[in-house]
Structure 1
């Protein structure tokens, strides 16, 4: 590809700044030879926090472009506690990001990158809008239930990792279609934005291997069993690029004891050191 920069899209509030810092630290460290640019879509992060976050990203050599979302853009969107405005951001990214940007990789902040992202970034989308992984490797029963529930034919994709063709998205993704779908089917949606994504765009999504690009960190035994022992810890460390800490139990919590807890804490410490360095410099009297 002509653009050697990996453009990352993230959407979060102030509470998720520390996990994002850990995710970005791991991505930069484990994707050598590539530059990154982070695009942050948000609605209410204070400027003081954004300034510190920008300084943190600079220590990693990564430009940060925060974009505040104008609430008027979502005047026709059904918004409630269950359907916050923020849930629309990644689906509408083609219309919210600059037209000069042609491709972006969306990552949830509860992710750890342990091998290069370059092969995913350079994946040919074959005319699809997105590339995403389905967790069928470990939970095919739930996948089948979701297909019946949403009346779709394709696998149920997890939206924590999405490679997007922004140019095609600008022509094929229509905000009013999304808003209308939520308006008409809101009571049926269990995971609102993920359900909307799968219903409207699942058929326009390229399947990628979750064991490589969206490994559900809760289910190491499941991956091991379904692979007949092939996906052991050494295999994961050598091949898996993205560990995704799905679910309510998060690895930055002191009570977390999952199999990858120590690995996460390692990158968390590295990120914390960079963040502390920024705070120390900013506190020096001018």
Structure 2
């Protein structure tokens, strides 16, 4: 190596020292590592910036009388017996029937209430009437209720269902009527009406409210099995009592041709009301009345009596 060569080597070495001296020193970590060992676990903490905003709206179904009154009983019953879901889904409908028959049964027939019958008397021959009369007769043809007055007959005569002695008509029994007009010449013209019967009536007797039904519509002939019409009448009675007299004691009075049949039927009616209205077994009193002279085609009667209901 010549002198010039040695001098050049020293210059290169000095430059390298300057270069390495100016490089930044490696960062010192807080934890020393060991060869052939992985890095320690690293925990990353951050704030969750995701926000959830849930808004629940009510589920409403607008029902009108026109929608409900479809004249299809099965459909109406299915609509009115739907119960709201319990628990976490209060805004949905639960397609399960209610545990008790508490929904109102708007499609069922109402018992007749006073005025039980409204007559529309008319003289077809147009006589100059001096006096008129309307007589309601029972199934024997005997007078039961008599109306009369002077002058022309009125456009209508309302009958509350009571006789001349203030007794209530017998449900299911056939009644008829005769309309009479006496002209100024003392001639009397009689017009016989058609026979009619009242299957159910709702009326007051002193401090009781009575809902009475003819036996042939409640029970099968001579037995204790309820007809479909009977279930309807008893359900309708339960709806009315639940609405107007929820805390009043009840009494069931059944008339039949013999005592045993009347007792068995009274028990059936009481059990039906207990299950329908969720009552205790001792809430309803029962009474059986044997009436051997009942007309066989009427098959007795059922009377559901609400006590202490005079002021309601």
The TM-score normalised by the length of structure 1 is 0.21
Please identify the structure whose Cα radius of gyration is greater.
Answer: 2
The TM-score normalised by the length of structure 2 is 0.20
Higher relative contact order structure (alpha carbons within 8 Å, sequence separation ≥ 6): 1
- Structure number with the higher helix fraction is 1
